[in-house]
Amino acid sequence: MSEYRALKGIKIKTFATDLSNAAAEGQVFFSTASNFNALKTVVASEVWSSGGNMVKARGDLAGCGTQTAGLAFGGGPGSLANTDEYNGTGWVNGGNLNTARSTLAGAGTQTAGLAFGGYVPPNNKNEVEEYNGTTWAEQNNLPAATRGLAGAGTQTAGLAFGGFTDTEITTTSEYDGTNWTAGGALNTARRFFAGCGTQTAGLAFGGFIEPPATDLSATEEYNGSAWSSVNSLAVARRNIAGCGIQTSALAFGGKNPSSNNLNLTEKYDGTNWSTTTALGTGRRGMAGAGSNNTAGLGFGGITTTATEEFNRSVNTIIGAAWASGGDMGTGRYHLEGCGTQTAGLAFGGEAPSTTAKTEEYNGSAWAEQNDLSSAKQKHGGAGTQTAGLCVGGTPDTDQTSEYGGTSWTAGGNLGTGRYDIRAAGTQTAGLAWGGLQDPDATEHYDGSSWTSGGNLNTGRRGSGAAGTETAALGFGGYKPASPAGATNKTEAYNGTAWTELSATMNITTISRGTGGTQTAALAAGSPPSFAGNTELWDGTSWVSSASLGTSRYDLAGAGTTSAFLAFGGAPDTNATEEFTPESTSLNLKTLTDS
């Protein structure tokens, strides 16, 4: 057998640890860290991984930007004005379009976006809007009202092509930041197709034309004045999404007679299309963003919030996810909890009558413990599994109970009795705020008695809660003062006073499973229309994340953003889920002679 040194002229190196960066791709080595006799290498792969889910499920939307700074706007069902911004992890709400619409097209970046065309039943639209990272502003209209068109380029050098007026068209229009002028016509008229690239190096692919109803694989390149037919997609399809540039593009999703929701992905190298790793969730009517065929973003679709990131990388990216844990012994809602993902505590709630049940979680299963001294719901919770705190609630709205790991004992009464109250901190350094009948009030607990603290800026009940007595975070909830209604406002407490933060939650809601710290909080579940949503707080802004496996509201939570526990919720569920954030690891392979 030949030696590696004889074949390659170099020795195989041995390292103290496994190589751990992109520069290691293709290197062959040993390491003393583990499995010393194993010959190892680092391999790049092409894969889609889950990103944070969109705030609102929708299809037939438009997108632009990059994988780490994407923009989604418009869509359906119906005609939507929603705009969402992606930061590489999750989505946040942006400013709404002035004209709500679906089947529109887009171009540009997250801070300099362009939206044009679309459909508001029963009419096609010619409206054009520019986005500055905060708001959309109306601009000069397209020459013709068009839906199902595609776009490319930037906000000051945009390209609109194809689509449907009263038939599929070949029209191309070029935008200079102010006006639209005619460009060269497509060779194949089409709608519901994808485009990418620039105004002088554009790419069009896929689509649909009738009669007769025909899905297209045709691909064309634009040189700034004329379109040229080039090698076609491997699979014809409509309602397709794409991203990239003329010499490095991705095409993904869509539909054709074989499937209403294709997961097929193809990449373009400037000459040919080739099949690569499929989407995790097949769908049509999605949108895309990304700079080339090694870093793409696909989002939305009819009708889903799913977001996926495409990468060619030596790293394996595992998206944030919820996984099922052991079921509670008693399913319930309006309960409270505290502790960690592997040492959680659940107490009280409705099941459907008010209950005093208490359960402990050990990371895999719940075990029933001694009950609260009285049945309770809509209370606050704080502390740990062995030193828990139950505050207020109904009935007995001023009552405090302390858990010692075995049983509950009475603590000092609140100064102001209330329910739908929220709490944070520990059993000997607790904080409680909001609730009815005093939605502004804050009180501090020292392990025996409560004293008044600074009032909330926005009085509320049923807010989210995170942090400690001197560094707390309150968010969301229901504002009883006029005008009454759910709020998305966030406030931070410094031990003396609350400060209203400029960042707001993406969903205006109450009663979610919440926890974490003042700078890293999590909120999961919400009222029925958004009951699976999860949002993460990083100290600056709220972003969407992976949705709960079991949609619900009025649930409880415990733990941190890196290891969170969600349990219970309406309607009467006993479901438990464990959250893990996105992670990245090197794609390390062991070489064998087989």
The 10s digit of each residue's pLDDT in 78-124 is 999 999 999 999 999 999 999 999 999 999 999 999 999 999 999 99
- Nearest partner of 423 among 336, 504, 361, 355, judged by Cα: 336
Q: What's the residue count for the chain?
A: 594
Of the pLDDT bands very low, low, confident and very high (cuts 50, 70, 90), residue 303 is confident
Mean pLDDT value across residues 448-465 = 97
230: pLDDT strictly greater than 70: yes
Residue 67: the pLDDT is 98
In the beta sheet, which residues pair with residue 436?
419
In eight-state DSSP terms, residue 100 is -
4: pLDDT strictly greater than 50: no
Residue 572: the pLDDT is 77
Residue 24: the pLDDT is 65
Of the pLDDT bands very low, low, confident and very high (cuts 50, 70, 90), residue 2 is low
Of the pLDDT bands very low, low, confident and very high (cuts 50, 70, 90), residue 315 is confident
Residue 489: the pLDDT is 94
404: pLDDT strictly greater than 90: yes
Q: Which of 360-364, 469-473, 525-529 has the lowest mean pLDDT?
A: 525-529
pLDDT in tens, 349-396: 999 999 999 999 999 999 999 999 999 999 999 999 999 999 999 998
341: pLDDT strictly greater than 70: yes
Mean pLDDT value across residues 290-315 = 94
Place of tokens 């006073």: 497
Q: How far apart are CA 446 and CA 130, in angstroms?
A: 54
Place of tokens 């995170």: 466
% pLDDT > 70, the chain:
93
In the beta sheet, which residues pair with residue 298?
288, 308
Residue 9: the pLDDT is 46
Contacts of 197 (CB under 8 A, 6+ apart): 152, 153, 159, 203, 222, 244, 245, 246, 249
Q: Residues 380, 418: contact at Cβ < 8 Å?
A: no
Mean pLDDT value across residues 323-339 = 97
In the beta sheet, which residues pair with residue 380?
391
Q: How far apart are CA 14 and CA 33, in angstroms?
A: 10
What is the average pLDDT value for the chain, to the nearest integer? 93
Of the pLDDT bands very low, low, confident and very high (cuts 50, 70, 90), residue 25 is low
pTM higher than 0.85, yes or no?
yes
Of the pLDDT bands very low, low, confident and very high (cuts 50, 70, 90), residue 594 is low
528: pLDDT strictly greater than 70: no
Mean pLDDT value across residues 332-350 = 97
Residue 530: the pLDDT is 67
Q: How many CB atoms lie within 10 A of CB 488?
A: 17
574: pLDDT strictly greater than 70: yes
151: pLDDT strictly greater than 90: yes
36: pLDDT strictly greater than 70: no
Q: Residues 439, 459: contact at Cβ < 8 Å?
A: yes
Contacts of 419 (CB under 8 A, 6+ apart): 377, 378, 379, 392, 393, 394, 397, 435, 436, 461
Q: Please provide the distance, in angstroms rounded to a whole number, between the alpha carbons at the two ends of the chain.
A: 15
Q: How far apart are CA 383 and CA 408, in angstroms?
A: 13
Question: Which domains, from first to last, does the chain contain?
Answer: 4-42 (no CATH), 48-313 (2.120.10.80), 322-580 (2.120.10.80)
Contacts of 444 (CB under 8 A, 6+ apart): 429, 430, 431, 450, 451, 452, 453, 469
Q: Which of 5-19, 230-244, 435-449, 578-592 has the lowest mean pLDDT?
A: 5-19
Q: How far apart are CA 148 and CA 255, in angstroms?
A: 14
Q: Residues 251, 266: contact at Cβ < 8 Å?
A: yes
529: pLDDT strictly greater than 80: no
Residue 313: the pLDDT is 82
Q: How far apart are CA 17 and CA 263, in angstroms?
A: 38
20: pLDDT strictly greater than 70: no
Q: What are the two backbone dihedrals, phi and then psi, of residue 368, each rounded to the nearest 5 degrees?
A: -70, 140
- Nearest partner of 112 among 179, 172, 158, 61, judged by Cα: 158
